[in-house]
Amino acid sequence: MSSKKQAIEMRKFTAAEQRAAKAERVSVSEAEPYGWVAESKAGKETYILYSSPFTKRLVCTCADYIYRGKDDPAYECKHVTAVLKFIARWYLANEYDPIRQVCKNS
């Protein structure tokens, strides 16, 4: 497939969908003493993410988040998307309790 055709194919996805795809190329680890480190697989960019105590949402230190997130606290850059998946996997492996979910939902 030509790069021009690929570019046209990519435009069929929303910006959020394209970010979700890019999140697959971000590796995540725990930061010290808290928060998370998001790193591009190429290893060129490293960002720190933390959970805002006010919004209960992840905040990223990348330019994309700072620029687009300032007017939209629900904005999710590719690092936020990657960290959310990391946290979800950790939660399922360590914290998830179906009994608590049943109690919460009933």
Which residues are near Zn ion by CB under 5 A? 60, 62, 65, 77, 79
d(CA 37, CA 28): 6
Q: In terms of CB distance, is 36 or 65 closer to Zn ion?
A: 65
- Could you tell me the smallest distance in angstroms from the CB atom of residue 6 to Zn ion? 24
* C-beta of residue 27 within 8 angstroms of C-beta of residue 36: no
- Could you tell me the smallest distance in angstroms from the CB atom of residue 64 to Zn ion? 6
Q: In terms of CB distance, is 71 or 97 closer to Zn ion?
A: 71
Tokens in use for 29? 């680890």
Q: In terms of CB distance, is 6 or 46 closer to Zn ion?
A: 46
d(CA 98, CA 105): 11
